Amino acid sequence: MPLFFLCVHTNVGYKVLAKFICENEDAESIAEALHIIKGWNVWWNPSYFMVDYSTAEINAIEKKFPTALVYICDFHRNQAWNRWVRSGKSGLDSKQQEILLALLQRVANVRDQCKYEAALAKLRKCPVYMTHSNVQDYVGNVWMSCAERWAQAFRKQQVLNIVNTNNGVEAQNKHFKYDYLPKSVDKSVFGIAVLLVELFIPDAYQHYVDTDTNLKQSSLYSKFNDATPPYLHNRPAHFIRHCMRSRFNTGEIQESDVHCLNIDKGEFTV
């Protein structure tokens, strides 16, 4: 039975917030589970999700969170491209495979839409693409039809700054499968549910609280140094140090030294 992880990227890595088991791996079942979790957290309305290339997951998320942007994980996109291109389905020799993968990566990694259109045009004019109808079908129908979900040119800058892959979810999956599941005598759905609720989730939360002195960074734990501005209170230690260093260093920079490149994506040269 399909087991799903709902994670967030925190200052101490990926942390599992919820898990759910469905009878069927379809959009209706996933949406039902998300509806229940949202019912427990009525204020929960994420701006972004990152998933594997799963139409069931994408459709379920967009049904329950109409304003959220759903992106496809970079790692799984590259993995899917490599597997298809290097398989017999592509009909390409090794040199053609490398050419096609390089062109696809170029389309994926350029940061603005003008360069994206140029990279896409170069891909479509490539002999490997033009002479293989199966390549055209795969690239055009499977991937270019949803380019806004994986191409960097269409991603919001704040997402790029935080995370571009859900590998951490995979790591949590393996952690559960190999470190926790073998300890359970009862491998039924009930036994696994008990293991998740009573051991795995509480351990994940406690690790988040204890790691990187998250608990000790609270103003309720100890008084902050008077030199630390109030807006940096209750923040992780490494973040406070980074901001304090940057705050000092900005004294050497004049307004005329800063030039805006892209205000929508928050890109500047200094």
Structural tokens at position 206: 């406690």
Residue 259's pLDDT is: 93
pLDDT band at 178 (very low <50, low <70, confident <90, very high): confident
Pick the more confident residue, 160 or 171.
Answer: 171
Residue 187's pLDDT is: 83
Q: Which residues contact 60 (CB under 8 A, 6 or more apart)?
A: 27, 28, 29, 30, 31, 34
Lookup result for tokens 């892209």: 262
Residue 86's pLDDT is: 93
- Give the pLDDT confidence of 180-196 residue by residue, as tens digits: 888 778 888 898 888 88
Q: Which residues contact 167 (CB under 8 A, 6 or more apart)?
A: 73, 75
- Give the pLDDT confidence of 136-157 residue by residue, as tens digits: 999 999 999 999 999 999 887 6
Q: Residue 7 forms beta bridges with which residues?
A: 16
pLDDT of 36 > 90? The answer is: yes
The predicted model gives 253-261 an average pLDDT of 89
Residue 262's pLDDT is: 86
Q: What is the DSSP letter of 26?
A: S
- Give the pLDDT confidence of 195-216 residue by residue, as tens digits: 888 988 898 888 888 765 667 7
Q: What would the DSSP string read from start to end of 178-206? A: IIIGGG-S--SHHHHHHHIIIIIHHHHHH
What percentage of the chain reaches a pLDDT higher than 90?
Answer: 43
- Give the pLDDT confidence of 65-124 residue by residue, as tens digits: 999 999 998 888 999 999 999 998 889 999 999 999 999 999 999 988 899 999 999 999
What percentage of the chain reaches a pLDDT higher than 70?
Answer: 94
Report the chain's mean pLDDT, rounded to a whole number.
86
Is there a contact between 55 and 61 (Cβ–Cβ < 8 Å)?
A: no
